[in-house]
Every structure is written in C-alpha cells, then in structure tokens.
Structure 1
C-alpha cells in the first residue's frame, strides 16, 4: 500500500511523493488522514525559503524533527482515523477519529499519547482548525483586553480573523482591524469588528489604541502598530517574520510612550498564568470555542493533497481569494 506526503524541496517548490505505508510498531498506531489544514502564515515562510534554518522546526511537536532546511515535510494540523494498532496498543482505538500535530501526509505513525480524540459533534473540517483556535486564544490571553479598551488588530488571515472573532465577544470600546485585502476586511466585519480599514487609510484613534495585535506577518506593520498605540499601551506580536527583519522608528514618540511590546507564540503559556493554565486546559477551551466559529466563511478551498503545489501558489498569488485551504485525502 502506498501513501502520499507533501515535501518542500526548494523556494516555491513543492512535491507530493509516494511513500510506502508502514506497519505500526508495538506501541504505535497508524492513522489514515482525512483532512489537514495549511497554516498559511508559517507555511508560506517555509514555502518561500524565508524560515530560519538555524532553528529546530518545532521542539514542541514530535513529528517535526530536524530543522527548516530543504527538503522537509511541514504542517501541524492533521485529522484522521486510527486504522491499525501495534501489539501493545488497546484495539478499541481502531476507528477513532483523532487530531495530530503532524505534517501533510496520507498515513502516519504515532504514539497514542500524541493524539487527541475529536468530539463526536466536531466535523473533520472544524477539527483541522484546532491549532488556529488555540493560537488565537493564546494571543487574547496574552493581550488581556479590558472593558472599554480600544483594540486594533493588524492582519486578517485565518488566525487574525479568529482572533477578531474572539475579541468581538468582549465589551470593548472599539475593535478595529487593518488588512490590505478588501475581502478579508469584509469578513472581519462579519466576524464582529467595528471598523475595517486598509493600512494606507488607517486613522489613529483619538487617544490611540490601548491594545494592538500585530498578526499580519509583515515586519513593516509592526512600526504602524507601535504608531497607533497610546501611552502605556500594549502591543502583542503574534507574527513570525522568519528571516525578515523589522525596521522600527523608535526615536520619536515611542521613546516616551512606555509602550509594552510582547511576543506571543502558542507553544508556551505566559508564566504569569501557568499556575492555573496548562495546555490541556487551553485545548479544552479551544474545542469549546471552535463550535461557534463560522468555518464556511474561512475555508475557501478544499483541494486533494495531490494538488499541494497549486494550494501554495493560491496562497501566494491570490490572497483575495484564498483564506483557509484544507487538503483532502480521498480514499488513501
């Protein structure tokens, strides 16, 4: 039996390779993938060759070993069914739907402890967005929005839109989003933003934003994020810029503004919260909130994994059309 796996083999070069499907070891299971979600921001860096190769791919995900040098497999949002188990694994797992932080691949081996059971009422498509929701929750938890605050979110890709959807549930003073793509600005309004503007028409709030999220992936946006943030405000940087550098104007009002700039990344929880929060509690919250997200507005394309090269071309060249792309795996 042969499976298929996506490989990034060079800048803007993607191959789908046939691979033998392995038998599980004594303590392993084999999962047949049904869906996997492209993490557009991170995977576009890998696709472009803009991810730093001197860092591990992701030390918190066992399936992502090695670094980010070509050729490599990547991805971390796979939904599938357990189709075979090793001798030492409980056979009752057969047929279970599971989520795994695993690259785009039609079949893979895993230890049961690395899999997360999917609630019966959560569809495959929705389950594939679990990392997106977890990331958005982490941003909001790090930002700590307060009642009546003015909040600005730069970037309305999938993570930005879900972050906006979460923030819209708070009793904020205002919620403004900034994005270059008109279609994404319209989606943000549907997701609960009060105002959606392009970067070139962004007007400063009267007193500035209390809390600003930079989620665009564009280093130049960080300077704009600092510029719209008021005295003693907070800027949460959720973007990963890879090898791109940010050029900041810190010689003007920033010098006296006492603005707090903080990085936020989902692999860790704020130490100030770690006494009460761990990843299991955050995962539970992510499942709960996934239920209400209007995913049909987010998922713009479902493509067979054999068309992986086309998927990344769409993300690169058609940002007004492609928001969230899911890979499907047919009967493989």
Structure 2
C-alpha cells in the first residue's frame, strides 16, 4: 500500500500546486483507489481556481471529498476514475482489480468508503467514464424539463453537457433535436451522434423545450429567441 499521495491544491485564487501528503492506513470499510483519469470541469473548476465562488454558494458547491474551504487553500474535484487496489472482503460485491468512478478531487491514490465507488460497466473505457459527473448534470436537466415523444427540442451550447443533454433527448421517440453552437467545428460530433446542428439560433424553431448549456449570456438570449409559446427553458 502506498504511504503518500500526490494531490492538487488551489492555494490562493489563480495559484495551484501539487502536494505530497501522507496516506493513512486503510480502514476496515474503505477502498484504496489508484487514479487512472481525473476529469476537470471547465466551468465549475475554473470558478474555483479563480476564487470566484460566491460566499452564498460555498456550502452548496462543496464536493463530497473536498478538503479546505473556498477560496483557498482547497482541494477540489469530483470526477475520478481508477482501479481498486484494496477493499473490504465482500463476496457479493468484489472490488479489488475493478475500474471504478468516484466523486473525488485530483489525487493519485486515495482512501474512501467502499460504498463511495461505483464499478464501471463491462466494456466502458475508463477514460470515457470521467464523463459520469457531466452525465449526471445532463440527466437531471432532462428530468427537470420532462420532454416527451414528438417534442421539438433545441440545445444551446455544444460542450460536453450540451451534447449529453441532446443525446438523451434524441432517445425519446419522435423528438426533433437541434444542437446550436457558434463553433462550426462541433458539427461533426453532433452529426456523428445523430443530431441536427446549426451555428445560429434557428429561425422559427418554435421549440417546446430549450436547454441553455453555453454558459454565456448571449446563449440565454438565443435560448429565449427559439422558445415557442408556453415552452420550457432550462
């Protein structure tokens, strides 16, 4: 078992560093994980790195295994995929040697309760599994909106979350889903996922549901412009 772990900490806004800290002994109910991939949220973690998390959101935005507090020093992150090296003996749920997802900050080895890791389905590439946190966001957005068969749906913003929202909506029978992004290079990905693509807000879209996933005020304006009467904008 490793005795130390390398961790990424934000010391002050705009200044991060790698820190090596002791790794304590494994508890009877804990799993030891060796990180393989660690996803970085371009939106949330950029805010954290710049020290721009509003004081009113400090508790809301805490990550499950965060250490420290905003604006810093803080160890933050929530998208780690790794391999379990040691774990409790659970014949009904063997973990050792399995690839798992965990809502853990950026760290090469870590100890967490065994119940905090989620075994990846067979055949899922570990590097792709870092998108699990983004998929959770996308799925909650779709659940909140509750689109149904035959709805006209527009997604503004072709980043990871926007693409995942669009793919989930596309699976609803008879929906027409259009992904809008000002970056034309994202068209190939959208088409590959079976989505319609536009680099401008489509005129006369009269959408039943609009998802704003661009993180840009102009994107919100575009979302409102394509919404039909009594449409839902998320």
Instruction: Return the TM-score normalized by structure 1.
Output: 0.62
2: distance between equivalents of 1:49 and 1:224? 29
- Equivalent-residue separation in structure 2 for 1:99 and 1:13 (angstroms): 27
SS of the equivalent of 2:147 reads: coil
Aligned residues of 1:178 and 1:185 also touching (Cα < 8 A): no
**Deviations, residues 97-136 of structure 1 (Å, cap 9, x unaligned):** 3221101100111111212122332221122222222222
Instruction: Write out the 4+ residue segments of structure 1 that deviate beyond 4 Å after TM superposition.
Output: none
How many residue pairs get aligned? The number is: 228
Deviations 1:57-101 (A, max 9, x none): 646x5313554322211111111222234xxx3275433332211
What RMSD, in angstroms, separates the aligned Cα atoms of the two structures? 2.4
CA distance in structure 1 between the aligned counterparts of 2:124 and 2:197, rounded to whole angstroms: 31
3-state SS of paired residue (1:152): strand
Q: 1:147 deviation in Å? A: 2.8
CA separation of 1:202 and 1:93: change in aligned 2, threshold 3 A: closer
Consecutive unaligned residues of structure 2, counting only runs of 5 or more, are: none
2: CA distance, partners of 1:57 / 1:4: 26
- 1:1-150 paired onto structure 2 within 5 Å: 1-54=3-56, 55-56=58-59, 58=61, 61-64=63-66, 67-85=69-87, 89-90=88-89, 93-150=95-152
Segments of 5+ residues of structure 1 without an aligned counterpart are 237-332
Contact 1:37 1:129 (8 Å CA) reproduced: yes
Residues 254-290 of structure 1: per-residue CA shift (max 9 Å, x gap): xxxxxxxxxxxxxxxxxxxxxxxxxxxxxxxxxxxxx
1:185 is matched with which residue? 187
What is the CA-CA distance between 1:234 and the residue it aligns to?
Answer: 0.3
SS of residue in 2 equivalent to 1:62: coil
Q: Which has the higher strand share?
A: 2
Q: Deviations over 1:139-193 (max 9, x none)?
A: 2222222333221111111111122222222344532222232222332232222
Larger RCO (CA under 8 A, 6+ residues apart):
1
Structure 1 counterpart of 2:160, from 158, 161, 165: 158
| Corresponding residue for residue 224 of structure 2 | 226
Deviation at 1:12, TM superposition (A): 3.4
